[in-house]
Structure 1
Amino acid sequence: MTRPLRILLSPQARQALAPAIAGVLGDRVFELVTAEQAADPAQAGVDIAFVSRDVTGLSTKHVLTEELLAFYAVLRRSEALQWVHIHSAGADRPIYPELRARGVSVCTSSGANAEVVAQTALAGLLALARRFPQLMAAQQARTWAPLVGEAQAPRDLAGQTAVLVGWGPIGQGLGAFLRLLGLKLVVVRQNLPRAATEAGVEMVSFPALPTVLPRADWLILACPLTPQTRGLVNQEALAALPPGACLINVARGEVVVEPALIEALRAGHLGGAYLDVFEHEPLGRDSPLWTLPNVIVTPHSAGHSDGNHRRVCDLFLANLARWQAGQPLQHSIP
């Protein structure tokens, strides 16, 4: 007798998705199991896993909750594990290369939160452009400090240049916003089109990044973490930016060399930064980034939205249907 297909997921996801999964699998016999149920080594492992947002919870790549560790333990001991679907667009947590080395397919939810991240990055840019950190500090001090006078007045955004690193769903969404505001856009991307411009946007490759940095009023990071992008924004890159340029990072913290960033901010070479990601997360309480007056810090939450869960679940169910039909999975990490 063939054993049932076993799918690992959280209790919340099991309750929400059980009818939809049954609809996708049809007559196939299956079991939906939680990490607690699968913890017994005497029990069979799982074939498929769905890592929803509530599974990772408040954990980071560097600090893991006990609940997430229990989930990972089931993945590691499941010899028959075939594929894992994760809620995030990036798959740079250490366990995912480990699973891929075993031949397990790892599929991301690329695009599920792209619009939300793009909106958040735009909000960070607008906040810096309109000097909200300065205005909010004045508010806390109960000081009436309007931005008047040549030295205080914010620059018009129209005509400024944004160098945008990454041209996936987030980069493309953000690029559309920036062009609507009248910014000139230079995109740094892995795979260049045949033409140097695409839809009026200048395109360059990663090796050409140093040549475009001196033109950047805004350096915006929306790229995945890869060997090519790790440490991409280092001391030399930051020095190549014109004085007063600002940094927006909604990619991964390791794309930026953090001590070099802090030095550039303290020295006043950078005009400001909006940072949602950091080299080590949670950001240490002693980090200067918390208190620098020209920095906006958010706790890796640029993509959080109440609609994300539904979009991620839809992607998982669509991939489950492909798996059931023997078709290639979408957003599989190579």
Structure 2
Amino acid sequence: MHIQIVGLHAPNAPRLRELLGPGHEVEALQAFPEAGLIHSDVVIGNSIGESEAARLRCRLVHVPGAGSEQIACGSLPSGTTVCNVHGHEVPIAEFTLHAILEHGLQLWQYPARLDADAWAKAYASRPQHEEAHGKTLAIVGFGHIGQEIARRARALGMHVVAVTRSGKPGPAELADEFVAVSALDDVLPRTRFLVICCPLDDSTRGLIGARQLALLPAQALLVNVARAEVVDEQALYEALRDQRLARAVLDVWYQYPKKGQPPVAPSRWPLHELPNVRATPHISAMTPELLDRRYRFMADNILRLQQGQPLRNVIYQAT
């Protein structure tokens, strides 16, 4: 079988080649050709525009992650299957719990070096810090990531509110409450930690705007590990700038650098300059274990395609 890995994931071609073994041609492409049909059995990529999608002649498009909003599924030729892959929920959940604990502990207040000169002053003025135990954590989006975060938060004794589209009750061991997104405004005033981990679509774009941010307590922390656009960009900046929101940990951004284009800031507003923002460059899922899980999953799906077996994680079928 002929497999093309395109864009940011192209350097992982040797990994996939090793997993698939002989009889499979794995080609790394920095970008699709600018014109002409694109022939392959499988294409792996996380960004396929309308023109590129229309020129594809492949059986399977495999997104090397969970988000598929950058795949022009509607332009794919009939018969093309689109699958995605998870496996990122464990490191993202750990990243999120670190952000929550860091917000309460605020270890940056203490001297970098506890020597004889700093010790007396630091000991005499040491502040109290917050416990996560008993605090309310609202998780917007309760899929793979949200549930992994909830498991860890429940172990810390936090009060977990799962915010979903329907609000339909789920496993009691994962959350204390299941609330529909339409009732989010009722949850926010009692939320100390708001975590965004829902997909980005027309219904979630701008879901957290100026009104929602104003409903949060002033000491609240917002953590976004989903897509930046779920939270209104200007409203977030102004709430943090004016300290109406205590802090934010942002691992996803409104603008990303693109090869061959001028550098851009992560946001059109200077969020990264605010002292109450922890800005990270989309790293929450980046572990060696994640790549191993994902590429083993994609290799298995490619073998399933070759053998005529049902594919896993089908998210779209072009007709």
TM-score of the two chains, using structure 1 as the length reference: 0.77
C-alpha contact (below 8 Å) 1:89/1:108 kept by paired residues: yes
Which ranges in structure 2 are unaligned for 5 or more consecutive residues?
258-264
In 1, Cα distance between equivalents of 2:140 and 2:34: 45
Aligned: 1:6 with 2:2 = yes
Distance of aligned partners of 1:268 and 1:34 in 2 relative to their CA distance in 1, 3 Å threshold: closer
1:312 equivalent among 291, 294, 301: 294
C-alpha contact (below 8 Å) 2:150/2:174 kept by paired residues: no
C-alpha deviations, 1:73-93, integer Å up to 9, x for none?
Answer: 876533x21211122121122
C-alpha contact (below 8 Å) 1:196/1:202 kept by paired residues: no
Q: Secondary structure at the match of 2:205?
A: coil
Question: Which residue of structure 2 aligns with residue 252 of structure 1?
Answer: 227
- Matched letter for residue 214 of structure 1: P
Ranges of 4+ aligned residues in structure 1 off by more than 6 Å: 40-44, 136-139, 142-145, 147-150
C-alpha contact (below 8 Å) 1:192/1:203 kept by paired residues: yes
Distance of aligned partners of 1:88 and 1:36 in 2 relative to their CA distance in 1, 3 Å threshold: closer
Aligned: 1:213 with 2:188 = yes
Distance of aligned partners of 1:33 and 1:216 in 2 relative to their CA distance in 1, 3 Å threshold: same
Deviation of 1:193 (Å): 3.6
In 2, Cα distance between equivalents of 1:323 and 1:232: 38
- Matched letter for residue 84 of structure 2: T
Task: Provide the aligned C-alpha RMSD in A.
Answer: 3.5
C-alpha deviations, 1:96-149, integer Å up to 9, x for none?
Answer: 435557553221112x1210111111111222221245558999xx98875977
Question: Which residue of structure 2 aligns with residue 81 of structure 1?
Answer: 58
Distance of aligned partners of 1:102 and 1:264 in 2 relative to their CA distance in 1, 3 Å threshold: farther
In 1, Cα distance between equivalents of 2:143 and 2:73: 21
Deviation of 1:20 (Å): 3.8
Q: How does 1:142-161 map to 2 (within 5 A)?
A: 146=122, 152-161=127-136
Aligned: 1:92 with 2:74 = no
Q: Secondary structure at the match of 2:313?
A: coil
Q: Decide which moves more: 238-247 or 274-283.
A: 274-283
- Matched letter for residue 323 of structure 1: L
Aligned: 1:126 with 2:120 = no
C-alpha contact (below 8 Å) 1:45/1:74 kept by paired residues: no
Aligned: 1:15 with 2:14 = yes
In 2, Cα distance between equivalents of 1:161 and 1:42: 54
> Equivalent pairs: percent with the same residue?
31
Question: Which residue of structure 2 aligns with residue 32 of structure 1?
Answer: 26
Deviation of 1:271 (Å): 1.1
C-alpha contact (below 8 Å) 1:133/1:296 kept by paired residues: no
C-alpha contact (below 8 Å) 2:96/2:149 kept by paired residues: yes
Aligned: 1:45 with 2:54 = no
Deviation of 1:42 (Å): 8.1
Deviation of 1:47 (Å): 2.2
Distance of aligned partners of 1:83 and 1:99 in 2 relative to their CA distance in 1, 3 Å threshold: farther
- Matched letter for residue 136 of structure 2: T
C-alpha contact (below 8 Å) 1:133/1:293 kept by paired residues: no
TM-score of the two chains, using structure 2 as the length reference: 0.81
Q: Secondary structure at the match of 1:333?
A: strand
Aligned: 1:277 with 2:271 = no
Distance of aligned partners of 1:274 and 1:323 in 2 relative to their CA distance in 1, 3 Å threshold: same
- Matched letter for residue 16 of structure 1: R
In 1, Cα distance between equivalents of 2:284 and 2:170: 32
C-alpha contact (below 8 Å) 1:9/1:32 kept by paired residues: yes
Deviation of 1:40 (Å): 9.8
Q: Decide which moves more: 230-239 or 100-109.
A: 100-109
Deviation of 1:44 (Å): 6.8
Distance of aligned partners of 1:135 and 1:229 in 2 relative to their CA distance in 1, 3 Å threshold: farther
Aligned: 1:109 with 2:109 = no
1:232 equivalent among 181, 184, 207: 207
C-alpha contact (below 8 Å) 1:165/1:189 kept by paired residues: yes
In 1, Cα distance between equivalents of 2:140 and 2:194: 8
C-alpha deviations, 1:43-77, integer Å up to 9, x for none?
Answer: 971121123xxxx7xxxx7xxxxxx99xx987653
2:278 equivalent among 296, 302, 309: 296
